[in-house]
Amino acid sequence: MHSVSSPDSRSPETLCIGPLGIAKPWVQAALSGYSDLAMRRVARAHGAAYALNEVVIDEKVLQRGKGRQRILFVPDDDHPVGGQLMGSTPERFAQAANDLVEAGYDVVDINFGCPVGKVLGRCRGGYLLGQPALAIDIVLRVVEAVRGRVPVTLKMRRGLSEDPQSEGAFFEILDGAFDAGISAVTVHGRTVDQKYEGLSSRGFLKRVKTHAGSRTVLGSGDLFSAEDVHSMLRDTGVDGVTIARGAIGNPFIFEQCDRIASGLRPVAPTLAMQARAISRHLEEALRIARDEASALGKTRRHAIQYARLHPEPIRCRDAWVMARSRQDFERVFGELYSDA
């Protein structure tokens, strides 16, 4: 467990996920629609030691075609990488997990946390926090399918709702999952009902870590700055954290975490740093996308989030919203990042 020293005196510690050692305890979360290979490469360039692919449905992994090929493409420079699965059927979950391992993923992560309505309506994600027997069966099947080749981890929220029965189901699934052989759990401090409203409960994360003892627990929720990361580690005792929305348009957060760990102040990214990161993202997107329009569209989604770091965030955001072509991108760089 981490000590409760001040953030400025903390040094990076290896995060252990089964036999896999991660160099730093702050990692990039799986982000639906965002954490594709381009985002992961940019995050790694800024210090992320471990990243997860965006969550994928087990059926999409098993369905033959280009979609499956994109999911199962794991290049040599994308390690260590986790593949996060979501679904509702133990058999398909297990089959898809095996395919992720065969493709080269270093970790299989099971999603029992997504709070999106259409996901819940299909009995996936956070829905399974209300179905302990089914959830534990899924974990058992996945661990059996992986057969010790890579670690299996679990992503959870702190229950469906605030009621005691929901909390009881959470701990039943947590204990059942560790007994089944998972190597780590990530816990988001909001309930499924909360979605992204209200505060993530650090008190609950502390309780989970105390309950889990020496077993690996990562915290999640409301990590929008390097200071947030270090304070969560200090206040809850979790072994690591997964940075989700706070990493979209802000890969610099990983470098900033490193600086605090080394006793230095985090440095705000200059316009030049921002421009280089967005340009790198576009280059990576062009390399892997089906076509230029797709690459530009995906990069634009990230660039809009980068605008929060710009001295004129609203003007910058609006400029990226309107950018549709390579020429538009160059115009935005020229007008708003000219100091770079």
- Residues with a known catalytic role: 114
DSSP calls for 201-268? -HHHHHHHHHHHTTSEEEEES---SHHHHHHHHHHH--SEEEE-GGGTT-THHHHHHHHHHTT----P
Tell me the backbone φ, ψ of residue 20, rounded to 5 degrees.
Answer: -85, 120
Tell me the backbone φ, ψ of residue 51, rounded to 5 degrees.
Answer: -145, 150
Q: How many residues does the chain have?
A: 340
SS3 label, residue 12: coil
Distance CA 277, CA 286 (A): 14
SS3 label, residue 221: coil
Check: CB of residue 132 under 8 Å from CB of residue 173: yes
Asked whether the CA dihedral 94, 98, 104, 106 is positive or negative, the reply is positive
Check: CB of residue 189 under 8 Å from CB of residue 219: yes
SS3 label, residue 130: helix
Distance CA 285, CA 292 (A): 9
Distance CA 77, CA 51 (A): 12
Query: Degrees (nearest 5) of the Cα angle 265, 270, 271?
Result: 165
Which has the closest alpha carbon to 254: 7, 24, 36, 83?
A: 24
Distance CA 58, CA 84 (A): 9
How is residue 224 written in tokens? 């929008």
Which has the closest alpha carbon to 307: 294, 293, 322, 292?
A: 322
